[in-house]
Amino acid sequence: MIRFHWSLWNATKESFFLLSHSIATFKYFWGSEARYVVFTDAKEIAEQNLLVDVEIFQYDEFDTSIYSINALSTWKKWAPKCKFDQKGVEFHVDIDMFLLQEPQEIMDFIISEKKFLCLLENFKEKWPYGNFGNKLPKNFVPINAGFLGQNRNADLSQSLLETFQWWYLNIYSSMEKYHDEQGGVLWALLEYIDRGHVAFLPNERYRNVSPFDPPVEDVSKLCLIHTTCSEHPAFYKYIDRIRKISGLPGNRD
């Protein structure tokens, strides 16, 4: 079974709107072949505000939810656990990611021997990895942790848990950085990258589109866009293109 997971906390009306479109673009390509699951700290509010049919669970419905902590960095998106079905294929997706074309590379990964699938950053610097940046080798691969696939019989849980526990014990709140979670995911993946077990989505088709100077003006050849930034200007810039796949309204009202 294929599962797509999103995690949402401290939600606003806008974040429910983005999440609805994100889910709908993935449902367009996988339909009933996959499960679509949202984990949140506000299940009832999510049920009232999401515009698509989706499974919704509260973080505290699960006995093990170690990542459900209040922190500057975004560890909570891994709550309640890193992987549920050891024999299934699971994807963690940020709420501001949208498919615009058939994602052949993701489909190819599902039937491949690769264990993990990652999105790449558009540049190679260490600051997007927070307190893990200075721990990375010189030849590190600049992943973006907003999209991670775990194939059948592949599970990052133990490696990510060990990384999180190191962070929790060694990085005090005054030292914490927003990108610590992304750095932790890359750190947990290093051994698998070294062994050739990780596939990477091509940057020319799957990429962050905001903020950049000069801005990305043409998304006609892009398969997935990641509309980063707190105000998500790229989401609204490309909402008409996203709606062609999601089929949802173009405004929140």
In this structure, is residue 68 part of a structural domain?
Answer: yes
Q: For residue 115, what pLDDT band results from cuts at 50, 70 and 90?
A: very high
Which residue has better confidence, 141 or 60?
Answer: 141
Which residue has better confidence, 149 or 232?
Answer: 149
- Parent domain of 117: 2-246
* CATH number for the domain harbouring residue 85: 3.90.550.10
Q: How large is the average pLDDT for residues 60-71?
A: 85
Number of domains comprising the chain: 1
Q: Centre a 10 Å sphere on the Cβ of residue 82 and count the other Cβ atoms it contains.
A: 23
Which residue has better confidence, 10 or 229?
Answer: 10
In this structure, is residue 251 part of a structural domain?
Answer: no
Phi, psi of 2 (to 5 degrees): -100, 135
Q: Which of 60-69, 95-104, 131-140 has the lowest mean pLDDT?
A: 60-69
DSSP one-letter code for 172: -
In this structure, is residue 109 part of a structural domain?
Answer: yes
In this structure, is residue 95 part of a structural domain?
Answer: yes
The predicted structure's pLDDT at residue 68? 87
- How many helices (H) and strands (E) are present in the chain, helices listed first? 7, 10
In this structure, is residue 252 part of a structural domain?
Answer: no
In one-letter notation, the amino acid at residue 158 is Q
Instruction: Provide the percentage of residues in the chain whose pLDDT is more than 70.
Output: 98
Model's pTM, two decimal places?
A: 0.96
Q: Would you say 13 and 45 are in contact if contact means Cβ atoms under 8 Å apart?
A: no
Residue 231: pLDDT over 90: no
In this structure, is residue 67 part of a structural domain?
Answer: yes
In this structure, is residue 253 part of a structural domain?
Answer: no
Residues 145-154 as b or e (16 or more Cβ within 10 Å = b): bbbbbbbbeb
Q: How far apart are the first and last CA of the chain?
A: 35
In this structure, is residue 152 part of a structural domain?
Answer: yes
Q: How large is the average pLDDT for residues 172-192?
A: 97
**Mean per-residue pLDDT over the chain, rounded:** 94
